[in-house]
Structure 1
Amino acid sequence: MGTDHIRVPLVAPGTRAELGDIETRILKERGRISLLYQVLLNSAPIAAGWESMLTAVRHRTTVPAALREMIILRVAVLNEAAFEFDAHVPHALAAGLAAEKIEALKAAQPADLFSDEERLLLELTDRMTRDVKVPAPLMDQVNARYEAGTVVELVATVAAYNMVSRFLVALNISH
């Protein structure tokens, strides 16, 4: 399938002089200007803000990479964002998330092979993604387990990747 199904035009890297600085930042952080960023470059302020926020979430928090990638994959499943899921499987594997766990994230209720900590974060992810509101007892458990900064980072990870998946799905960005 080509890119003709995407609902806005792609911006080819190097075709708009005014995007040079943001393209340089994207290349520095990502190593390439992906299909997603070719869409985002339709708006320089959004592309720049997106790059800053998602780089902070993925590379500058205290959340262990395997937990972060588990959250991202679960959000992608819940929002039916196959492009996001497929893009993050290699990152999850590299972070040490077992292939069986990656597969289990596709289930309505992930299997018992997850640790207590992972199940807590999956419940947080599911509640934030499906219901938006997080029940007080669940947040009490999260706050009891993590310092405030980590709680903010975990919630920001779920929220940020809900934004990513919803953007991808709305604009029909897929393989």
Structure 2
Amino acid sequence: MMTERLPHFDMSTATPEQKAVLDEILSGPRGNLNGPFLGWIHSPELAQHAQRLGAFCRYQTGLPLRLSELAILVTASRWQAQAEWYIHYPIALQAGVGVADAEAIRHGRRPEFADADDELIYDFANELYETKRVSDATYAQAVGRFGHQVVINLVGLLGYYALVAMTLNVFDMRAVGQQSLPFPE
């Protein structure tokens, strides 16, 4: 859902570049335009690069879906991104993130993780957001567990979803069908 911060986007007047981006999004693994895409579409070149990066970060990082979605929830909570949380919360639960863990994250509390991988992803993401760095110990643990390529991809995923959160927040965007806000405003 768009607010008055951006002009209304009308598919019938879309440029060929805008149509190409939207067609690629709709025919890809997402299959919908929920999220930042109708904001980005006002800059079709950015939209195309961002949506392709997002498809990689969401589906090809080498992390199990549960861990990717956990990292996205940490990001959504850090940025208080209403639509990002709304969209990814049910996906995270379906992927195996526990309700109690997700709710603790939403409320800014550290969950009592049952799984060491969940705790590692949480610690990595929170250190990066909190200190703008990752400690040698957390870095070594992440590389030892996932390898350099996946850790690089994790940093990309966190950066991409921060971009999504910033877009949603700046343009006051809501998810399709969103009736409630997970964070106070």
TM normalised by structure 1 equals: 0.89
Separation in 1 of the partners of 2:132 and 2:126? 9
Structure 1: 4+ residue segments shifted above 3 A: 2-5
| 2:157 matched residue in structure 1 | 157
| 1:23 matched residue in structure 2 | 22
Percent identity between the two aligned chains: 21
| 2:63 matched residue in structure 1 | 63
SS at match of 1:143: helix
Query: Over residues 59-90 of structure 1, what are the superposed CA-to-partner deviations in whole Å (9 max), with x where a residue is unaligned?
Result: 12211001100110111011111211011012
Alpha-carbon offset, residue 93 of structure 1 = 2.0
| 1:127 matched residue in structure 2 | 127
Is the Cα contact below 8 Å between 1:73 and 1:102 reproduced in 2? Answer: yes
Look up the equivalent residue of 1:166 and give its one-letter code: M
Deviates more, 1:153-162 or 1:93-102: 93-102
Alpha-carbon offset, residue 171 of structure 1 = 1.9
SS at match of 2:173: coil
What's the RMSD between the two structures over aligned residues? 1.8
Separation in 1 of the partners of 2:145 and 2:26? 36
Size of the alignment, in residue pairs? 173
| 1:13 matched residue in structure 2 | 11
Provide structure 2 residue ranges, at least 5 long, that are not aligned to the other structure.
Answer: 179-185
| 2:181 matched residue in structure 1 | none
| 2:168 matched residue in structure 1 | 168
Provide structure 1 residue ranges, at least 5 long, that are not aligned to the other structure.
Answer: none
SS at match of 1:105: helix
SS at match of 1:91: helix
SS at match of 2:11: coil
Deviates more, 1:100-109 or 1:48-57: 100-109
Separation in 1 of the partners of 2:83 and 2:99? 18
Deviates more, 1:18-27 or 1:127-136: 127-136
